[in-house]
Amino acid sequence: MIGSGPVNHRALLTHQGKYQARIAAQVILDQAAGESVDEATPWSAHLESADRSAVPHVHLARGGGANLYADGYRGRARMVVDEDTRCLLGVTFVGPGVTELPHSATIAIVGQVPIERLWHAVPSFPTISETWLRLFQGYQN
């Protein structure tokens, strides 16, 4: 995958390009459905709000994400969200290599960060932290 960095003169990283593609896709989908597009509200689904100076960067020797731990890697993740505040109440991770993920969940819970804003915290690629993307995508669907 060629990231969008060469086009927009930002981070030349796959995970940043994937983030920017998700924002662009949401704008296109909502416009096609005749829905309004909110490009004024910080952290909206239509505005790239990720901190451009704090984009994570990881150097890994081979493979991607869960495949770094084993071919056919299997794990599970579930989150509980307060529907009134749309903030995390808890998250469970099960599988090899997930021991670093609970701390990010703790920060989100203690900081009462809404899911809409967490969506803009771009996880490093290729790492298991991409699990967060799957959780947020599952929540939005």
pLDDT score of 17 more than 90:
no
Statement to judge: residues 128 and 81 lie in one domain: yes
Strand partners, 76: 94
Statement to judge: residues 73 and 124 lie in one domain: yes
pLDDT score of 91 more than 60:
yes
The verdict on residue 54 lying in a domain is no
pLDDT score of 61 more than 70:
no
* Percentage of the chain exceeding pLDDT 70: 76
- Contact criterion met (CB below 8 Å) for 96 and 72: no
The verdict on residue 16 lying in a domain is yes
- Contact criterion met (CB below 8 Å) for 134 and 115: no
State the chain's mean pLDDT as an integer. Answer: 80
Statement to judge: residues 98 and 140 lie in one domain: yes
* Helix %, strand %, coil % of the chain (to 5): 40, 10, 50
Give the containing element (helix H, strand E) for 27.
helix 14-32
Q: How confident is the model at residue 62 (pLDDT cuts 50, 70, 90)?
A: very low
pLDDT one-digit tens code per residue, 18-51: 888 888 899 999 999 999 999 888 778 887 766 5
The verdict on residue 8 lying in a domain is yes
Statement to judge: residues 71 and 138 lie in one domain: yes
Statement to judge: residues 137 and 78 lie in one domain: yes
Report the alpha-carbon distance of residue 62 to residue 33 in Å, rounded: 40
pTM for this predicted structure: 0.64
Domain span at residue 37?
A: 1-48
pLDDT one-digit tens code per residue, 99-108: 888 889 999 9
CATH number where 139 lies:
3.30.390.30
